[in-house]
Amino acid sequence: DAMVIQNPRYQVTQFGKPVTLSCSQTLNHNVMYWYQQKSSQAPKLLFHYYDKDFNNEADTPDNFQSRRPNTSFCFLDIRSPGLGDAAMYLCATSREAGASTDTQYFGPGTRLTVL
Amino acid sequence: GEDVEQSLFLSVREGDSSVINCTYTDSSSTYLYWYKQEPGAGLQLLTYIFSNMDMKQDQRLTVLLNKKDKHLSLRIADTQTGDSAIYFCAVLREDSSYKLIFGSGTRLLVRP
């Protein structure tokens, strides 16, 4: 019954080695979000897709990219992970972007470790 | 921009009520949410309240909203050890971005 699925749950990568995190959803929602959450901090929005339209946050580093090949899947690519990129990465979806349908449903997260 | 603040830590005894508080700055926020995060897990939506409501009750959870003071609270009745987690308050920013702005989370510890 999982609605927002993230793979893998734990990812270890080396400094500078590209890594891709995956998110899929069974809700048929239009909007998909990627958040970064560092220890003991609030989730920080990196970017979101409204359908195929990509919306980047102004302070998201260029090192972070995203792809959404279809409604169900969204990927987070970290081109050259640094030690400061170690965090929990949360994917979320919402039916629309605004008003009462904007409730966001989160996946379980992928914990990224950078060695 | 929007600022959402929460106290960092709350400790209660099992069976007591817990009250987690949140303040926000943007008076135009129309939807306010409470999420729960257990260790190593994602965020679970607990409840939300629309800004034209003062109170919303859902089983053991009661949300109170004081729009004048921009204060939101979550009361958990008969707190159980399974309620130990981090609770995030989040408000929907009502501009073109429709972003959720999160507080820094309140860690609730329930003592047996």
**Phi then psi dihedrals of residue B36, to 5 deg:** -115, 135
The pLDDT tens digits for B25-55 are 877 777 899 999 998 888 999 999 988 889 9
Average pLDDT, chain B: 90
Q: What is the pLDDT of residue A98?
A: 62
Closest CA to A81 of A11, A22, A32, A29: A11
Residue B48: which of A97, A98, A103 has the nearest Cβ? A103
Q: What is the pLDDT of residue B1?
A: 61
Q: What is the pLDDT of residue A41?
A: 87
pLDDT over 90 (residue B12): yes
Contact A73, A27 (CB under 8 A): no
Cα-only R_g, chain A? 13
- The two structure tokens encoding residue B74: 């979550």
Residue A42: which of B42, B99, B102 has the nearest Cβ? B102
Contact B22, B5 (CB under 8 A): yes
Alpha carbon distance B80, B84 (integer Å) = 8
Alpha carbon distance A52, A69 (integer Å) = 8
Sign of the torsion formed by the C-alpha atoms of B105, B2, B43 and B22: positive
CB spacing of B98 vs A106 below 8 angstroms: no
Average pLDDT, chain A: 91
User: In Å, how far are A8, A87, B94 from B2, measured between CA atoms?
Assistant: 33, 24, 10
Q: What is the pLDDT of residue B42?
A: 86
pLDDT over 60 (residue B85): yes
Q: Which residues of A touch B91 (CB under 8 A)?
A: none
CB spacing of A55 vs B97 below 8 angstroms: yes
Q: What is the pLDDT of residue A72?
A: 96
Cis ω for the linkage preceding B112 (within 30 of 0): no
Closest CA to B73 of B98, B99, B109, B106: B106
Task: Count CB pairs under 8 A between chains A and B.
Answer: 50
Contact B4, B23 (CB under 8 A): yes
As beta bridge partners, residue A77 has A20, A65
Q: What is the pLDDT of residue A96?
A: 79
pLDDT band at A14 (very low <50, low <70, confident <90, very high): very high
Q: Which residues of A touch B (CB under 8 A)?
A: 4, 6, 40-43, 45, 55, 90, 92, 97-100, 102-109, 111
Q: Which residues contact A45 (CB under 8 A, 6 or more apart)?
A: A33, A34, A35, A57, B99, B100
**Helix/strand/coil percent split, chain A, to 5:** 5, 50, 45
Q: Which residues contact B96 (CB under 8 A, 6 or more apart)?
A: none
The pLDDT tens digits for A29-79 are 999 999 999 988 889 999 999 999 998 998 999 999 999 999 999 999 999
Residue B98: which of A92, A97, A109 has the nearest Cβ? A97
What average pLDDT does the segment B8-16 reach?
Answer: 96
**Terminal Cα distance for chain B, rounded:** 40
